[in-house]
Amino acid sequence: MAASPERRASSSQRGYDYAWQRARDGYLRRHPLCCLCDRQGKVVAASVVDHIVPHRGDKALFWDRSNWQPLCKHCHDSVKQQLERSGRVAGCGADGRPLDPNHHWNRASPG
């Protein structure tokens, strides 16, 4: 019989404990709107504090507030996951320009 895959550590083992919940709640009070929806001209409440750069267990990166961003659940579970898999930001802003800063439309043209 094949070996079972390793189980993922529990959320509290990954650092999402009571201290995180308190920090998360305070952050969302100060940053109540999803930053990705905001870039598209939409006003949507944030419910997730996302680590911009995945911390992968690095406690310093985990607690680095400059590495946090407020997201709605939809953006966290779709847009952010796609970005982590593909390295590209999907979608367009209210002005119709692609959200991905590396898209050729967003690059400065040679002068």
pLDDT in tens, 20-71: 999 999 999 999 999 989 988 899 999 999 998 888 889 999 999 999 999 9
CB-based burial label for 36 (10 Å; 0-12, 13-18, 19+): buried
pLDDT tens, residue by residue, 66-106: 999 999 999 998 877 766 666 676 777 777 787 777 777 87
Q: What pTM was estimated for this model as a whole? A: 0.68
> Looking at residue 91, what is its pLDDT?
73
68 alpha-carbon distance from chain centroid: 8
Residue 56 CA to residue 14 CA, distance in Å, equals 9
